[in-house]
Amino acid sequence: MKPETAIIRIKNLRLRTYIGIKEDEIQNQQDVIINVVIHYCADKARNSDNVADALNYRTITKKIIALIENNRFSLLENLTNQTLAIASEHDWVEFASVEIDKPHALRFADSVSMELSYQKTSS
C-alpha cells in the first residue's frame, strides 16, 4: 500500500430490504448489514483540508442506502455486486470491498454473508 493511500471503512450499516427467493422473503423486508472498505489516494486531502480533495463517504453511503431500500433482490451476490459498483465508481478508488450479512438466514448461524472486491487495473 502506498503511503498516500487512505482507507475509508463504513461499518455495520444496518438497512432493510427485500432479499431472497422464498415466499416469506419476497413478501417481507429483512435486515442486512453492510460493511464497505475503500482505498483511495488521499494525497491532496491530507495536505489541503478542502472537502473537494477528499472522497465523500457520505455521498457513497446515501447511494448505497437508496439502492438497498428502493429495490428487491433475489440473490445476495447481486445485491453485493451492485453495492460494490457504487463503492468503486469514483475514479480515485484503487480498491474496494463490500461484505453484506443477512442475519438469521440459516437456522443455527448468526448470519450468511457475501463479500466481493474490486481492484483498479493499471492502464
- The neighbouring-strand residues paired with 114 are 100
Q: What letter does residue 110 receive in the DSSP assignment?
A: S
Whether the model clears a pTM of 0.85, i.e. scores above it, the answer is yes
All three cell numbers of 19: 432479499
Helix axes 76-87, 57-69, angle to 10 degrees: 150
Most distant CA atoms of the chain, gap in Å: 53
* Predicted local distance difference test score (pLDDT) of residue 1: 64
* Predicted local distance difference test score (pLDDT) of residue 121: 87
Q: Which tens digit of pLDDT belongs to each residue from 96-118?
A: 999 999 998 888 989 899 999 99
All three cell numbers of 9: 471503512
Cell 429495490 belongs to: 71
